[in-house]
Amino acid sequence: MDMVQLEVLRGKTGFMCDMDGVIYHGNRLLPGVTEFVNWLQRENKQFLFLTNSSERSPAELQQKLARMGLEIGVEHFYTSALATAKFIAGQNPHASAFVIGAPGLVGALYDAGITMNDVDPDYVICGETMSYNYQMILKAVSLVNQGARLIATNSDLTGPSEAGIIPACRALVSPIELSTGKSAYFVGKPNPLMMRTGLRLLGVHSHEAAMIGDRMDTDIVAGIETGLTAVLVLSGVTSREDVEDYAYRPHFILNGVGDIPV
């Protein structure tokens, strides 16, 4: 990529960034991230960490980055858990749900007025969790077969970690879909509901913003379909060769976010 192209990217007013595979792997900060965040703050850019992970709340994500040496305000985080809670509250206020997920998802649902129910819930909601087990699958299948609607926080099949590639939300909800014949509704990226909320939080128009991510099937297609400049970084699950498997292309391909700062 030449310097003229990079200057076009640097001239954007707003930046939406994925986290896993872009900012960190597990508890390891990726190279160049500190310089990138310092540049965003120094240049007074509007930025938002828009993550499909539903495990942690914005406050927990803020604290996680603080432990890695990055001081970022809690207002700069938006998760698929928040997007899922907002969607359900808009569709069915005061609904109830059986939830397969971590505290970040459960807390977001509680905050939106959604109660937990393992008898006759309106929804079965699936997100990432380390406590996933067969009993949860059995319960979810039974409830969906009884009429509960199936929602998943995001459509990521896998995700990066310190230990390598691991199963993500789509892999966890698939047994429920296959057993019931019901398809989950995925709320996170590339769903435009989440992207439009991100733009509103940034306070910028789509043509003034860039979406930075490591996944072609969520981050990049979300950026393209929402009218943002789509930036693929090779620090996560996608290689340069993988790009050829898709009919669409990112506007930029970088090794990592550390390529952006001047």
Q: Which residues are catalytic?
A: 18, 20
Torsion on CA atoms 59, 9, 28, 194, rounded to nearest 10: 40
Dist CA 188 CA 82 (whole Å): 9
Dist CA 154 CA 104 (whole Å): 14
Longest Cα separation, the chain = 59
- Residue 190: cis peptide before it, omega within 30 degrees of 0: yes
Please give the DSSP secondary-structure letter assigned to residue 30.
P
SS3 of 31-58: the string is CCHHHHHHHHHHCCCEEEEEECCCCCCH
CB–CB of 112/85 below 8 Å? yes
Please give the DSSP secondary-structure letter assigned to residue 216.
I
Beta-bridged to residue 197, according to DSSP, are none
Strands 28-29 and 96-100: unpaired
CB–CB of 232/246 below 8 Å? no
Strands (E), 103-169: 115-116, 123-126, 149-152, 158-161, 164-167
Dist CA 171 CA 162 (whole Å): 19
